[in-house]
Structure 1
Amino acid sequence: MASVMERFPTVSGRKVKKKTYFNGLSDLSYIGFQYSEDDLASYTGNSPLLEKIYPLPIEAMKKLDVPVLNIGPFGKDAHQWTERLDLASMTEAKNMAELAVTSILQSKD
């Protein structure tokens, strides 16, 4: 990730910074479980029907623990009829994703 953040400004002309802001559950959450016990307690405490209508395989998720990176465009009102994306950030997200994949494939690690 660091190499992508260092190289992207050269490609895009824009400064990049890491910001942890996604506070929900996504598809990536199943393979990249990186939550503290407090985070988990907060999530399960606010999901009263969690085990009744949607059993979440938390122990299996902890065992899988694969590093993930969520690259996406800036948007507003996710999953609402008013949902919209910023077109410029959508193009930048695409370019950053391509750079990230290329960097990973070229990595010697």
Structure 2
Amino acid sequence: MIKDRGTMKWTAMMLPEHLMLLKEWKQEVFTEPPRERTEWELEELQQTISRAIVQHNYIMLTIWDQAHYVQWGGFIQAMHEEELLLETITTTKHIPLKYIYAAHIEDDGLE
């Protein structure tokens, strides 16, 4: 039975520039675009963030960052017109409001 190595057999003949262009092309093609949020999702997001600011709760934010979603957790220090200041364990992050896609207040079990 013949064992075919697929594209591995061709990478030795490619120039580094070609490999770099192929990698960029794969990232461009296979990244998912940010999804549109509905009106009620935006309203719920605003209420959750406001509640976390007033009650000073730990919050988990889902953020669109460079072609994928990431999660950051911390305490909200301030909210300006265009950005949110999130204090994490190690640093304070400036997060543009337009990149926040979900928010969840973490329960600490003290209630």
TM-score interval (norm. to shorter): under 0.3
Q: Greater relative contact order (Cα 8 A, min sep 6): structure 1 or 2?
A: 1
TM-score, normalised by the number of residues in structure 2 = 0.20
The two structures have a TM-score, normalised by structure 1, of: 0.20
Structure with the largest fraction of strand: 2
More helix by proportion, 1 or 2?
1
Larger radius of gyration: 2
